[in-house]
Amino acid sequence: MSAPRETLTDRQPAGPAFPPGGQRRRLALAGQRKPVARAREFTEGALADWQWPGAEDVVLLAAELVANAMLHAGGPIDLLLDITEARLRIEVGDSSPELPVLREPHRPGVPGGHGLYIVQQASDRWGATPRADGKAVWAEIDAVSGPQPA
């Protein structure tokens, strides 16, 4: 018999953490110097406030999405972190209408082309949504994801 999956509520330490009703935090990145570093810092701050476990994976996702926007879409416009009781969504907007495509097959020994593979592996789901000014590429992590109790 396996143990029940841990929920976000089960994993929270005492004190302020998950905002009741969820929360959205947005960082403008258009024209910013070092947008990947700024996105990492912003994400780390939000995750610390929310006491989100496994923050390293989320910071990696944010950095990869921003880096992909820089390399393939003319640069990021903004970063959105949206937390609900069910999931955490990391979303990066850019001005390119071209939707990202995962390189298949993934070739680990070949330089380049690993960003979306990392996003796919580190998230529960990912995708892209067209916007009037381009698109948003997003990744989500379910609130019940993460290390399971022994």
pLDDT tens digits, one per residue of 34-89:
999 999 999 999 999 988 888 999 999 999 999 999 999 999 999 999 999 889 99
Per DSSP, the residues of 11-29 read HPPSSS-SPTT-EEEEEE-
Residue 2 to residue 26: CA distance in whole angstroms: 39
Per-residue model confidence (pLDDT) at position 111: 62
Contacts of 105 (CB under 8 A, 6+ apart): none
Higher-confidence residue: 91 or 109?
91
Q: Global pTM?
A: 0.81
pLDDT range class, residue 148, cuts 50, 70, 90: very low
pLDDT range class, residue 17, cuts 50, 70, 90: low
Cβ atoms of 118 and 64 within 8 Å: the answer is: yes
The mean pLDDT value for 116-131 works out to 94
Q: Write down the mean pLDDT value for the chain.
A: 84
Per-residue model confidence (pLDDT) at position 115: 84
For CA atoms 34, 35, 36, 38, the dihedral sign is positive
Residue 30 in 3-state DSSP? coil
Residue 7, pLDDT above cutoff 60: no
The mean pLDDT value for 8-14 works out to 45
Per-residue model confidence (pLDDT) at position 138: 98
Per-residue model confidence (pLDDT) at position 90: 98
